[in-house]
Amino acid sequence: MSKNLVGKIALVTGATRGIGKGIAVGLGEAGATVYITGRTLEPNHNNSLGGSLQETETAVIEAGGVCIPIQVDHSDDEQIRQLFERIEREQNGQLDILVNNVYAGVQALREAYGKPFWESEPSFWDAANNVGLRSHYVASIYAVRMMTKRHEGIIFTISSWGGMSYIFSVPYGVGKSACDRLAADMAKELKEYNVTSLAIYPGIVGTEQITSFAQEQSLENGNSPSFGDGYNWETPLFTGRAIAALASDANIIKYTGKIQVVAEVAKRYGFVDQNGNRPVSLRSLRFILAMGIPFLRNYAGLIPDLTIPWLVILFSMIVSKF
């Protein structure tokens, strides 16, 4: 990867493992100085999923970046405020990239999986959207106060295809749709200050949490959920490389307010995933046909990688509800 982000200051929230760690490493590959946050500072061998700020720091340094881990609980607004005060103090007011990634609702989603929303307690909403949607908004406030002074900066808000159609649960989908709207509406107010705001859609990412969840479902039900068979999965680094590529684009403001699909960004900028392949977008004809007709996966390379327009996708989702 090119070192296009040398001299740039980035913050990735929720980077102890999973997509956040992949993003931090991707920005490190491109030469950025990367602040990372999370609740777990040191490795905890009693945690089956693993992950810590120190382990991510090591991975970022090995990738060629500079990493500064800061232990933060994003459910506490005061800790978030202090985080940005520290970055402003240490970097003389410079913050080029904010990645709103932190999310604390995975365990709640696992516990509620397969249940209608009314069988969960109202607190499920907060578990899905407090450290996630709300914390993204709070972090963006403090980041923008720095970025607008310098008339430059990028905010990436990690969202999901759940913002377009039902996935997992009601609170999850509403929260991800709101993330998309957060990115779009911030873009409206920030454009005159040359600050870009984007929503990012990874594909099916084989994080520690998703892999564990898929294995659980396979054992309980005798088969895997629709996302759990590994076909066209992405690694967390794929999202990191997408964000690094976008952040390196001198004309990124042209995308402000829009959703950027990681696999489509890879195709546009010509990079590959960690294992050297390039997964396709979930709205690619290749993916849709291979998922709908599994035996076609053996011949997926023969199916054109044509991107289905958003309007067609949205219309098909609306029709499918009736």
Catalytic residues: 172
Pairing of strands 259-261, 195-201: parallel
Number of other CB atoms surrounding residue 47 within 10 Å: 13
Residue with tokens 């996302």: 227
Residue 258's contacts (CB-CB under 8 Å, 6 or more residues apart) are 184, 187, 198, 199
263-277: b (≥16 Cβ within 10 Å) or e:
bbbbbeeebebeeee
Which residues have a Cβ under 8 Å from the Cβ of 310 and sit 6 or more positions away? 283
Q: What are phi and psi of 37, to 5 degrees?
A: -125, 160
Chain centroid offset of residue 255 CA: 17
Sign of CA dihedral 76, 101, 208, 24: negative
Contact 286, 265 (CB under 8 A): no
DSSP 109-137: HHHHTTS-GGGS-THHHHHHHIIIIIHHH
CB 38 within 8 A of CB 72: yes
Q: What is the CA 98 to chain-centroid distance, rounded?
A: 12
